[in-house]
Amino acid sequence: MNNKLAQNSKAEEKARIRRRIKDGNADNADYFPAKETPQIFDSANEMRVAVYARVSTLNTRQTSSQAMQEEYYADFVERQEGWELVGIYAEACDIIEPTQETA
- Whole-number pLDDT of residue 103: 47
- Whole-number pLDDT of residue 50: 93
- Whole-number pLDDT of residue 33: 80
Are residues 14 and 47 part of one domain? no
Task: Please give the Cα distance from 79 to 1 (Å, whole number).
Answer: 59
C-alpha torsion sign, points 49, 55, 60, 65: negative
Task: Please give the Cα distance from 74 to 87 (Å, whole number).
Answer: 9
Are residues 18 and 59 part of one domain? no
Give the residues of the chain that fall short of pLDDT 50: 103
Q: Taking a C-beta distance cutoff of 8 angstroms, is the pair 86, 48 a contact?
A: yes
HEC sequence for the chain: CHHHHHHHHHHHHHHHHHHHHHHCCHHHCCCCCCCCCCCCCCCCCCEEEEEEEEECCCCHHHHHHHHHHHHHHHHHHHHCCCEEEEEEEEEECCCCCCCCCCC
- Whole-number pLDDT of residue 78: 92
Are residues 54 and 26 part of one domain? no
Are residues 52 and 81 part of one domain? yes
Q: Which domain holds residue 59?
A: 35-103
Are residues 92 and 49 part of one domain? yes
- Whole-number pLDDT of residue 84: 93
- Whole-number pLDDT of residue 82: 85
